[in-house]
Amino acid sequence: MTETVTGSKSQQAYEAVKARIVEGAYTPGYRLVLAKIAEDLGFSVVPVREAIRRLEAEGLVTFERNVGATVSGIDPTEYLYTMQTLSIIEGAATALSAPLIGAADIARARAVNEEMRDCLEHFDPVRFTQLNQDFHSVLFERCPNPHILDLVHRGWNRLASLRSSTFRFVPGRARDSVEEHENLLRLIETGADADTIEKAARQHRAATLDAYLSQAKQ
């Protein structure tokens, strides 16, 4: 990842801050002080400010006038809304992507899913989560509508930013999840109609959300 820097400073600042949020270096609630970030990066505040506003537009940070920016919060309600939105968008993306998924994609996804199964044996939640993202990427990445694809990516980023504090691995749900993945693959392989695939994909995510919620109640 140490390739020669490219793009404008505002772009670099955007990527740098976003990476820190998604990786969890800046946790929700973290105060983003323009001058400090600018100094860290060796830039002036102007491009940093622009980067922060972009992240605000994507929902990763919250900006308050004359006060400043903080990494967006972990409010359970917010989490629910984000998941619901993502389930809808991702469901549609997967359905639109399905007819364009080839045998090679299926094989790749299946391999990933099998590795997820291994992660269950060895209890490796971190890798499991990463693989889960990889798996779904294969399913929706061929979606021909760039807007929908973009929204899916934003949703995943947003979830990633919440991960470290909100995410709790639920083994029972994870096991079901792997089975549902296999079902999804079979639906796509057999050329099921778009509506069936969309419902299955949406339902899959809704079930994950339910698992988190019922766990959170305890």
Q: Which of 15, 40, 50, 114 binds a second copy (CB under 8 A)?
A: 50
**Binding site partner of 88, from a second copy, DNA, none, Cβ cut-off 5-8 A by kind:** a second copy
Total interface residues for a second copy by CB under 8 A:
23
* 203 near a second copy (CB under 8 A): no
When the beta carbons of 4 and 66 are compared against DNA, the nearer one is: 66
When the beta carbons of 34 and 120 are compared against DNA, the nearer one is: 34
Q: Which of 88, 111, 170, 207 binds a second copy (CB under 8 A)?
A: 88
Q: Which of 58, 69, 79, 139 binds a second copy (CB under 8 A)?
A: 58
Minimum Å gap between C-beta 168 and a second copy is 22
Long-range contacts of 167-175 (CB under 8 A, 24+ apart): 167/129, 168/212, 168/215, 168/216, 169/125, 169/128, 169/129, 170/211, 170/212, 170/215, 171/120, 171/123, 172/211, 173/207, 173/208, 173/211, 174/116, 174/120, 174/125, 174/128, 175/120
When the beta carbons of 131 and 158 are compared against a second copy, the nearer one is: 158
* 151 near a second copy (CB under 8 A): yes
H helices, E strands: number in the chain: 9, 3
Cβ–Cβ < 8 Å for 127, 119: yes
Minimum Å gap between C-beta 47 and DNA is 4
Residue 40, classified by CB atoms within 10 Å of its CB into exposed (0-12), middle (13-18) or buried (19+), is middle
Cβ–Cβ < 8 Å for 120, 174: yes
Residues in contact with a second copy by CB under 8 A are 7-8, 46, 49-50, 53-54, 57-59, 65, 81-82, 84-85, 88-89, 92, 145-148, 151
